[in-house]
Structure 1
């Protein structure tokens, strides 16, 4: 049973929301960040990068305190206002390719995370969890929802469609040409219907935001232990999420680039590959794999197809059958000597939405030696990994939608 509840969001005013909304801080280049901080005083980036005002890089607790100060200033200046009653927020994104994402922004139970009602499919790094937990504890708010997915549900779908017939509270288009819509749901009967329907869903899945979920859970544990009057309904018992049906989720592959062949010549490398794969040279034209356990490789000016020899590689678990795991177990680790996929500087990742030309260019320029392309993970694979209590290799999925920070804010 999933506990998904309404909350009192802090939101930008309608006339400012398009200026406030920002992508994830890490997604901007240095030049883009400088431009937005210089030209847009309302951007949420002004809050999360408070050192810009002092022309100084600030980190740690000093930065966290300044982030809180900038946030309070946005509230004092009337840029942000808090809703008076708990609400759900129906959120729709239509991207530049006309893909639609429809879901509900709500508060999700940290206890559900603890008891595995909310299931995970990725490992997290402990020190990153703690850093973000400390950040949340100091600033007192979270501005970027965790992306969760649930099995398609006809009742929730009909409620969302009914709400979307009304005028949206927010409607704005980004410079990426994605259009965002938000409807505030404050009707008690509709709130009750949504909440009860989610209670009938036994399991929901983290699609994107494993570190944010883990940090929010650590914050819940800290604040619960520090509160002798803990009741279980305090805001810190929950974290903000954007819940969308599985059919709306878009999963792309993360392709791999490796800087060298681990001391092997091209011929020696191909000979070692032959142990696990039937190899065909496809020439210089970009070549995409056509099915699972089938990879495209770009090496020394040519694309190759790699067909897994199933008599050699044994699939015993759901993780064994994942293409990113197969690539690691048959090539990246045993042949190229890469053990730590998260930290090894010899490997880089390119999300599968980008053209194969990006891989070709990296290899042709000498920046990388070889590139690998695979098909994306499907929703059922992701769910099975989570159900089995296993975790995918890092950068196994590039998941959409990507949300904007600062549109809805959850205070602890």
Structure 2
């Protein structure tokens, strides 16, 4: 089975990438999106967050929102801000954030492989978010939000991508957050054939980020088939695929609204039944698995879980997010379903420890926890076992940009 294939991407015209490129649609709220499009008529947010062009308070899932997305996409094509490549291509995509750099491949990942779990998942999806992506794809007849995939690093593939990206990029822009985005269009037939065959020889690909987008793409493809048809390798979804050893996963931290009816002294005493608790003079960023920072009443603490409580043979239960949930958040704070309980919230590590302390010092939250980042090997082990990670286990940085390459759904 072919895991990936090239496609004729819909891309910003020469010199327009800086006008078009936008953060992913799901990393800002509606007010932030409106602010980001001020003075930027060609921002891709007009397509990915089209409610910015509708009255305040518009339901983001209303039919007119998806219709506006289609109208804005057509406007950008008619103005030749977005132009379709003449032939199927792959694209090398490089992200640089500070000293970190990762180089991957943009292609159409096989929906047949996804449906048969050769493209492996590790998260559950929420129906409302998945339905939203289905309606957006169907309204646009295009996939505009890339799914972030990972492959186990492959020396020959990595070397070929490095060689291709040694030339002058077709796109080279730096976003307002300082992340550099570079793109090289691959049209050489030998390079395309090599990459198609090399990826198809891999055992699996892994969804790192974009479970709702990939699930929605599979549903849309199923709707467009004849009743007697099954998924075919001609169907694909927009993906950017990076080697696992270039990934940067940041911590995904927790804040909790109250102490479940306990005073701080009683709360600390209960924690000591499973953790070693030591005050810290500095904000605490864990340096090893099973170590946590905790911020309570203006004081940071180091929590270290009793090693005997760590199951070594369960890829989900041994995750740091699971250990904190199973030994503190559920039994002591009374939150059994962090996916649905509004007493808990999640803070991406990009916001730093100050972002945690601020939520507690403001009185909004009672306690905050900093975690050691989940490892890529842990993510792949969970996916290989066919298991599901707890919610908010991984925060990948840097983020992909929307709008640099889109996949139009006339490929099949």
Please give the TM-score of this superposition, normalised by the length of structure 2: 0.93
- Show the 5 A alignment for 1:98-137: 98-137=99-138
Name the counterpart of 1:273: 271
Cα distance, 1:50 vs structure 2: 3.7
Deviation of the 1:76 alpha carbon: 1.0
| Structure 1 pair 320–31 and aligned structure 2 pair: CA distance change class (3 A) | closer
> Within the alignment, does 1:75 sit opposite 2:72 as a pair?
no
Rounded to whole Å, the distance in 1 between the matches of 2:87 and 2:377 is 37
Q: Is the 8 A contact 1:130 1:215 kept in 2?
A: yes
Task: Report what 1:399 is aligned to.
Answer: 396
1:2 and 1:202 in contact (8 A); partners too: no
Q: Offset at 1:41? A: 0.8
Using the TM superposition, give the Cα deviation of residue 37 of structure 1 relative to its aligned residue in structure 2, in angstroms: 2.6
Cα RMSD between the aligned structures?
2.0
* Pairs within 5 Å for 1:237-316: 237-282=235-280, 284-312=281-309, 314-316=311-313
Task: Check conservation: 1:249, 1:401, Cα contact below 8 A.
Answer: no
The SS at the match of 1:105 is strand
Query: Are the counterparts in 1 of residues 310 and 318 from structure 2 also a CA contact under 8 Å?
Result: no
Q: Give, in angstroms, the shift of residue 12 of structure 1.
A: 0.8
User: Number of paired residues?
Assistant: 407
CA distance in 1, matches of 2:77, 2:368: 48
Alignment of 1:222-241 (within 5 A): 222-225=223-226, 232=232, 234=234, 237-241=235-239
Residue deviations 1:44-69 (CA, integer Å, cap 9, x gap): 11223444445452542222122112
| Cα deviation code 1:308-346 (max 9, x no counterpart) | 123355555111110100111111111111122122211
In the TM superposition, what is the alpha-carbon distance from 1:390 to its structure 2 partner? 1.1
- The 1:179/1:289 distance shift into structure 2, 3 A limit, reads closer
Which secondary structure state, in structure 2, belongs to the residue aligned with residue 311 of structure 1? helix
Q: 1:125 to 1:30 in 2, by over 3 A?
A: closer
CA contact (8 A) 1:2 1:204 kept: no
Per-residue CA deviation, residues 372-395 of structure 1 (Å, 9 max, x unaligned), is 111101111111111111111111
Cα distance, 1:147 vs structure 2: 0.6
The residue number in structure 1 matching 2:25 is 25
Paired with 2:122 and 2:233, the residues of 1 have a C-alpha distance of 27
Distance 1:261 1:305 in 2: 18
Give the aligned partner of residue 38 of structure 1.
Answer: 38
TM-score by length of 1: 0.93
Residues 30 and 52, structure 2, Cα contact 8 Å, conserved in 1: no
